Amino acid sequence: MKLARTLFGAIAGITFAGMASAQSYPSKPIRLMVPFGGGASAVELTARLFAPKLGEMLGQSMYVENRAGANGMIGSEVIARAPADGYHLLYTTPSTHVTATFTSKQVPYDPVRDFTPISATVEPVSGIVVNPRFPINNVRELVDYAKANPGKLSYTSSGIGSVFHLTGELLNSAAGINLLHVPYKGSQQALTDTMTGEASMTLAAISGPMPFVKAGKLRMIAILESRRYAGLPDMPTVGETIPGFEKPASWFGFFGPANLPPPVVNRLHGEIVKMLALPDIRQKLDEAGLAVIGSTPAEFAALIKRGFEVYGKAFALSGIKPE
């Protein structure tokens, strides 16, 4: 009986301490780690869009810290080893939490066990664009042309191992075609060569090609994501024509270290979802070609799990091995 009272008292103390912690959180500035270099990347721009707004909503400042290196693994490891108190957060992409396990033999953390998923916020909307003089207007025509001209149709991407390279491998597999991959060091030159006719088509985030599509210099034939994009409601997805096709997800999301207290996770998640619904935030995201996700922690964990499966298949098709 005495032991039972002691255990009850200990559990109650932990519970009340957790409640008190949640009620007082946050009581000091929050560090938001972006494990890539500063610049004009979409992940950097959204981090700096979200941080001041979230800080305002939480009642404390939130500041962005860039810690680049090892494809994002250095900054991610910093947060994996940080105290699980809600004052050390990570804002990253699948490159540190999914694809790193397929490209590196030495990932210095476990992307699942060493982190607490909070919310996947947005995903860059991507599509297939072709040269307007090319005789392809939709995915069905693309597949038919590729089958009628085996080995003669290529696609460009922003580099070997990029999400668009891997997406092309999955497209080949699902459609039973053989598009040849031509890697570039960045998306801009790939788009330029597609406009001039040096390349037939490219896979890219739509924020890059949209101005050229509107100017008639490129033609977009499909969205690569599983759902149509609200900003282009008449543009079909690849999956509407090729059942079974699934692009690897390219979310941007918030994590904390492992064992982040549930009340803190819930507070952060709740404010993130509210922030994503704000009209001024939505307008900026729409302008950048970013689709809102706003997942729950459980949904985010499932998204990551699915990512290992889809990326794993894509890497197997590509022949890329960890180094």
Q: What is the DSSP string of 220-274?
A: EEEE-SSS--TTSTTSPBGGGTSTT--PPP--EEEEEETT--HHHHHHHHHHHHH
- Contact indicator for 235, 228 with CB cutoff of 8 Å: yes
Please give the average pLDDT of every successive group of 10 residues along the chain, which has 323 residues.
41 41 85 91 96 98 96 97 98 97 96 98 97 94 95 90 96 96 90 91 95 96 96 96 96 98 98 98 96 98 98 96 91
Question: What whole-number distance in Å separates Cα of residue 115 and Cα of residue 258?
Answer: 4
Predicted local distance difference test score (pLDDT) of residue 42? 93
Nearest residue to 149 (alpha-carbon basis) of 185, 183, 200: 200
The DSSP annotation for 33-63 comes to EE-S-SSS-HHHHHHHHHHHHHHHHHTS-EE
pLDDT at position 13, please?
42
pLDDT, tens digit (0-9, with 9 covering 90-100), for 39-80: 778 999 999 999 999 999 999 999 999 999 999 999 999 999
The per-residue pLDDT for 7 is 37
Note the pLDDT of residue 22. 59
Check residue 21 and give its pLDDT: 53
d(CA 72, CA 37): 9
What CA–CA distances, in Å, run from 211 to 38, 200, 214? 24, 18, 5
CA angle 310, 316, 321 (to 5 degrees): 120
pLDDT at 151: 85
Question: 10 Å Cβ neighbour count for 256?
Answer: 26
> What is the pLDDT, as a whole number, of residue 38?
81
- pLDDT single digits (tens) 176-198: 999 999 999 888 899 999 999 88
What's the pLDDT at 265?
Answer: 98
- Output b/e per residue, 231-241; b: 16+ Cβ within 10 A: bbeebebbbeb
**Residue 187 pLDDT:** 85
For residue 276, give the H/E element and its range: helix 262-276
Integer Cα distance of 105 and 57 in angstroms: 40
